[in-house]
Structure 1
């Protein structure tokens, strides 16, 4: 969707933009042409997702600069991965989404991670490596910092990411990477280091996520059947024994008749 005064789907000047709306997974093809004969076709293209989310409310009585929203167990991770891709420019995706990758492999030259709703007791730092030593090569940087290069045709050949802080053991980093000429590789842990077979292959696909370990409740022990103690039999009570003699009582009237 272009502006009312622009040709549909065409950008003519720097800092111009258009909105792309899709209903299913799609592939965006960008073609760059010179504005005049013999002109330059160099372009830096940035793709950003548009959302309608609202920022988290500030807790009452807490200063704004110290408030750090925490991702609860039911709140999805808001991790954002920005990569500078050869021929595409800056590309931003969410967790568990390929940048370049199997469908459209391309050299990744720089990476920046951002996590707005990161838990307050967890930190992430990451580093990139090149085939030849460069400034900042293999040096860890914090979230929000761009590691790598732009416009120098220097592909990343190695990537490291680690979780630090009190909650580091509660989270696991999952990374899927593709290096040129090598099969896809998946690694997990609170610290990962990935590279190609020789350490010089360009990174041409990356997918990241950070997930909290799900602690399963211990199963309840089976109930033991109640043990019944044998009950001692009640002592047998015998009825009082009568004497063996039988005593017969006669009424007075019967006695008189007998006497007459």
Structure 2
């Protein structure tokens, strides 16, 4: 039952080239940076990543992306990552963009053992018709288009069929966790972390604070340990490293208040 590993490097050591990987985080909030850095140091490549976004230049998944280690991304947001856009438009990276709520539900469905579900999101758009560029050719033409989606009516309203997502591994970050893998997420860091953890065959969690079994009240646990196979404890410096994707200063900042 003790799922704690001695280091991030040990925890990701068996992730092979070409693995599918669900990664928690939204922008730079709740991103498992230590595990991503360990995967980068290991040299793993050809990764097929499922994440809301792909980090930013030099941070989060952006580290793997800049090194050419990611082959495919399923996500909903390009964000501030210029290298992501460059690789996509040049045909170096395959990208499946999907509505954010649909992405969340696809991960949840995969974790719950639901193979597919119907949703109204995307009805009447190119998401339904197909033809969205998953991969560009070097000359700018579409090399791999998205397929059309099955449509069905319920109560006189059309819905699209979306497939649940499962992955080989997941990397997530939690505020607190115990040796059994029970996790608590803090505020916005909850984002995609529980969903990513549910969808994977092997989930690896980095935690800011490790506690003993029984210290977490059952009602406080956001993700039960059955979904988590490995736990890594962050150092104080790693736990405190929480960058802001875009910092916006207001007049009040002159009086000591910063809003982001």
Q: Which bin holds the TM-score, normalised by the shorter protein?
A: under 0.3
User: Which of the pair is proportionally richer in helix?
Assistant: 2
TM-score, normalised to structure 2's length?
0.26
Higher RCO (CA 8 Å, separation ≥ 6 residues): 2
